[in-house]
C-alpha cells in the first residue's frame, strides 16, 4: 500500500481535469467554494441550484449557524464572559503567580496560569474546527480563515492565546463577506492585533512603526506599490495612542481632550499618548484631531488602486489555487473599487467566472483544506467529539490554526505545500483517517470509551459522481486495495483528492 500511495503521489504534477459538464463540474465548484464537498453539501447544492446556493452563501445570516449535534459540541467552547473580563482575570492570575515568594508555589501557580491560556487557545481552535466542518455557511468559513491568515496574529506572543478566538469571532468572521474597510478597522481595534504588532507600545515621542508598516505592506497596498518610508512614519504617528487597557476607568486627560477618548472593552484610544501634529500621508494632508485621523487614513488606504489590486489578487489566488488571468484580475480590482471594497461582490465575480471551475485541476489543497475536506467526505454530518487529533494533524502538516509566527500568514501557493516531506505526512494522516475513528469520537469525559465509527468514503456521492472524475492512475491504485482501510488511505492520498 505504501508503494502504491507514493507512486500515486508522483502524479501530483500532472493536472487532473474533471469532466467538462454535469456532476463533475458541480463538484469542482462546490469543493472550491467550501471546505470540501460531502454527500449532504452536494445534495444541498443540487436541490437549490448553483446560483441560489451561491447567493445564499454570499449573504449568510448574521449569526453563526450549526446543525443541532454540532451546536451541542460547540456550546461549551463559547466563552460566557466578555474578552475584557477574561483577560483582566487572567492578568490578575499571572501577576499573583509572579508575586509568590515560595519557588515551588510560584512555579505551580505560573503553570496554572499558562494552562489557562493554553485551554483558551485549544477551545478557540476546537470551535473553529467545528464551524469549518459543519456550518452550512461554508463560504463565510472559508473566507474567515483567509482573512485571519491575511491579517495574521500569532497565538504564541504574550497573552494572545486568550484573545485569538475572539479576534476571529468578533473582528474577522462578521466582516468576511462585508466591506474590506470595516474588516480592516475591526482588526485595527482588536487587542490581539494591537498586541501582536506592537501598536499598544506606539505613543507620541516613542514611535513604533511595526503595525503601520505591516498595514501597508501586507494588509492593503503591498510591497512596491508606491508608498515610502515617510508614509510609514506618518501612519505610525497617526496610529499613536491606539492601544489596550485593563482598567475600568478612563485615563485622566485635559478637559479639551476628554471627548477624544474612545474605548471598547480592551481597546483604548488614549489622547495622552497620541501625536496631534498634522501629517502628509500618501499625498493627503491629514489634520491632527484624534481618532478621526485613523479613520481618514484607513479610507485613503482602502480606496487606493494598489489595495484593490493587491487584496483581490490574494483572494483569487486563495480560491483559484493559481494565478488569475490578467482579465479576471482586472475585473476583480474594478469590482473592488466600484463597490467600495464589497467582499461579497468581488467573491461573486470570482466564483461565477468560468476560470473558477476550470482551475479545479490546479487547486492543490493546503493542509487545512486537505484535513477538513477529508473529514467532511469521510464522516459528512456525523459530528466529531474530539478535535485534538485534527489540531495535531494540522500542526504536523505545518499549518496549525493561529500558529503562524510571522505577520505574512501562511503561503497560498501550491508549491509551498507539495514537497516530499509534506506528502509523506499526508499519507500517514490519510492512513489514520481512513483506517478508523482515530480518536475523533472519544468523548471528553475521563475514561470514556471511543464511540465506534468508520469513514464512509465509498458512499453514494462517490459512486454517482466522484468515481467518474478520477484519473486512470488513481483508479488503478484503488483497484489494488486489499481492504476498505487500504482503499480509504489510497483515495485520501491520491492526487485527485489532494486537488
Is 188 exposed, middle or buried, given 0-12, 13-18 or 19+ CB atoms closer than 10 A?
buried
CA dihedral 323, 421, 4, 427 (to 10 degrees): -90
- Is the distance from CB of 376 to CB of 136 less than 8 angstroms? no
How distant, in Å, are the alpha carbons of 109, 399, 424, 439 from that of 388? 25, 15, 21, 8
pLDDT per residue as tens, the chain (499 positions): 545 444 455 444 444 443 344 788 999 999 999 999 999 999 999 999 999 999 999 999 999 999 999 999 999 999 999 999 999 999 999 999 999 999 999 999 999 999 999 999 999 999 999 999 999 999 999 999 999 999 999 999 999 999 999 999 999 999 999 999 999 999 999 999 999 999 999 999 999 999 999 999 999 999 999 999 999 999 999 999 999 999 999 999 999 999 999 999 999 999 999 999 999 999 999 999 999 999 999 999 999 999 999 999 999 999 999 999 999 999 999 999 999 999 999 999 999 999 998 877 778 999 999 999 999 999 999 999 999 999 999 999 999 999 999 999 999 888 899 999 999 999 999 999 999 999 999 987 777 888 899 999 999 999 999 999 899 999 999 999 999 999 999 999 999 999 8
Note the maximum CA span of the chain. Answer: 80
Residue 450: CA count within 13 A, CB half-sphere: 12
Closest CA to 240 of 213, 267, 281, 209: 209
Helix (H) or strand (E) holding 94: helix 83-99
Q: What is the pTM of this model?
A: 0.94
Pick the closest to residue 428 from 470, 370, 472, 385 (CA basis).
370
In this prediction, residue 1 carries a pLDDT of 52
| Eight-state DSSP code of residue 452 | P
Can you give the three-state secondary structure of 203-268, one letter per residue?
ECCECCCHHHHHHHHHHCCCCCCCCCHHHHHHHHHHCCCEEECCCCCCCCCCHHHHHHCEEECCEE
Q: Which residues is 245 bridged to in the sheet? A: none
Nearest CA to 339 out of 40, 58, 32, 52 is that of 58
Q: CB under 8 Å to 488, separation ≥6 — which residues?
A: 378, 430, 433, 434, 435, 455, 457
Amino acid at each position: 500500500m505504501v508503494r502504491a500511495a507514493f507512486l500515486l503521489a508522483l502524479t501530483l504534477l500532472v493536472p487532473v481535469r474533471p469532466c467538462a459538464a454535469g456532476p463533475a463540474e458541480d463538484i469542482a465548484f462546490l469543493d472550491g467554494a467550501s471546505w470540501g464537498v460531502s454527500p449532504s453539501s452536494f445534495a444541498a447544492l443540487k436541490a437549490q441550484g448553483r446560483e441560489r446556493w451561491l447567493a445564499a452563501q454570499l449573504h449568510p445570516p448574521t449569526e453563526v449557524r450549526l446543525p443541532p449535534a454540532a451546536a451541542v459540541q460547540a456550546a461549551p467552547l463559547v466563552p460566557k464572559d466578555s474578552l475584557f473580563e477574561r483577560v483582566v482575570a487572567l492578568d490578575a492570575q499571572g501577576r499573583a503567580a509572579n508575586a509568590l515568594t515560595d519557588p515551588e508555589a510560584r512555579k505551580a501557580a505560573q503553570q496554572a496560569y499558562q494552562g489557562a491560556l493554553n485551554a483558551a487557545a485549544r477551545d478557540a481552535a476546537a470551535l473553529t474546527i467545528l464551524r469549518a466542518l459543519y456550518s452550512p455557511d461554508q463560504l463565510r468559513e472559508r473566507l474567515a480563515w483567509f482573512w485571519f491568515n491575511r491579517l495574521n496574529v500569532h497565538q504564541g506572543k504574550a497573552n494572545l492565546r486568550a484573545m485569538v478566538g475572539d479576534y476571529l469571532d468578533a473582528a474577522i468572521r462578521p466582516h468576511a463577506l462585508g466591506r474590506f474597510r470595516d474588516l480592516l478597522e475591526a482588526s485595527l481595534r482588536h487587542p490581539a492585533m494591537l498586541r501582536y504588532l506592537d501598536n499598544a507600545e506606539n505613543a507620541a515621542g516613542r514611535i513604533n512603526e511595526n503595525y503601520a508598516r505591516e498595514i501597508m505592506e501586507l494588509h492593503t497596498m503591498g510591497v512596491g506599490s508606491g508608498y515610502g518610508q515617510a508614509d510609514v512614519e506618518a501612519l505610525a504617528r497617526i496610529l499613536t495612542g491606539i492601544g489596550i487597557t485593563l482598567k475600568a476607568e478612563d485615563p485622566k486627560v485635559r478637559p479639551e481632550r476628554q471627548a477624544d477618548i474612545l474605548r471598547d472593552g480592551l481597546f483604548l484610544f488614549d489622547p495622552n499618548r497620541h501625536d496631534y501634529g498634522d501629517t502628509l500621508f500618501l499625498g493627503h494632508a491629514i489634520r491632527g484631531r484624534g481618532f478621526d485621523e485613523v479613520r481618514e487614513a484607513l479610507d485613503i488606504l482602502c480606496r487606493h488602486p494598489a489595495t484593490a489590486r493587491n487584496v483581490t489578487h490574494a483572494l483569487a489566488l486563495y480560491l483559484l489555487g493559481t494565478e488569475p488571468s490578467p482579465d479576471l484580475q482586472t475585473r476583480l480590482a474594478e469590482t473592488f473599487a466600484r463597490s467600495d471594497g464589497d467582499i461579497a461582490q468581488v467573491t461573486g465575480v470570482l466564483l461565477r467566472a468560468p476560470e473558477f471551475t476550470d482551475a479545479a485541476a490546479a487547486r492543490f489543497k493546503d493542509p487545512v483544506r486537505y484535513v477538513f475536506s477529508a473529514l467532511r467526505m469521510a464522516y459528512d454530518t456525523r459530528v466529531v467529539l474530539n478535535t485534538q487529533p485534527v489540531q495535531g494533524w494540522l500542526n504536523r502538516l505545518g499549518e496549525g490554526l493561529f500558529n503562524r509566527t510571522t505577520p505574512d500568514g501562511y503561503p497560498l501557493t501550491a508549491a509551498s505545500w507539495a514537497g516530499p516531506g509534506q506528502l509523506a505526512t499526508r499519507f500517514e494522516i490519510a492512513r489514520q483517517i481512513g483506517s478508523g475513528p482515530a480518536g475523533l469520537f472519544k468523548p471528553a469525559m475521563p475514561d470514556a470509551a471511543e464511540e465506534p465509527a468508520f469513514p464512509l468514503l465509498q458512499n453514494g456521492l462517490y459512486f454517482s459522481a466522484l468515481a467518474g472524475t478520477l484519473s486512470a492512475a488513481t483508479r488503478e491504485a484503488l483497484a489494488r486495495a486489499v481492504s476498505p482501510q487500504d482503499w480509504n488511505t489510497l483515495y485520501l492520498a491520491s492526487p485527485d483528492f489532494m486537488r
